[in-house]
Amino acid sequence: MLPSFFPSRFSSGYYYQQITDDFGQHPLLGGFRSRVVGLGPQVGFLFPVGDLQGYLNLKGYGEFAAENRPSSWNTWLTFSISPMAPAAMTPSRHLVRK
């Protein structure tokens, strides 16, 4: 089973399947529909940036089961800054009087 080898916290992946033929000149050798699967680790961190929130994410994919396309390793580094999430407000308790 996939979850036992790749914990959901640190795993990422994708499946790409081309569903239409390539177009352009008449394809003498076929439509060259491609397919590939990629799996790999990922790690992300949330941190404060003044009154904003920063996020840094690193993920890598090893591709396999490629058909009509190259397979390799892809690595992505993502950095973003956004407003802080609003603080959760606890509802005030109302006194019930009879």
Share of the chain above pLDDT 90, in %: 41
41 pLDDT more than 60: yes
- pLDDT on residue 17: 93
Q: In what order do the strands lie in the sheet with 35-49?
A: 11-17, 35-49, 52-67, 73-83
Structure tokens at 74: 């892809």
Q: Is residue 48 part of a domain?
A: yes
Q: Which domain holds residue 48?
A: 33-84
Average pLDDT over the chain, rounded to whole? 82
Q: Is residue 24 part of a domain?
A: no
Q: Is residue 89 part of a domain?
A: no
Q: Is residue 77 part of a domain?
A: yes
55 pLDDT more than 80: yes
Kindly report whether the global pTM for this prediction surpasses the value 0.75.
Answer: no
Q: Is residue 12 part of a domain?
A: no
Residue 62: burial class (beta carbons within 10 Å; 0-12, 13-18, 19+): middle
Q: Is residue 2 part of a domain?
A: no
Is residue 69 very low, low, confident or very high in pLDDT (cuts 50, 70, 90)?
confident
DSSP conformational letter for 10: T
- Domain total in the chain: 1
3 pLDDT more than 60: no
Q: Is residue 11 part of a domain?
A: no
Q: Is residue 65 part of a domain?
A: yes
Strands 73-83 and 52-67: antiparallel
Any alpha helices (H) in 1-98, and if so which ranges? Answer: 2-5
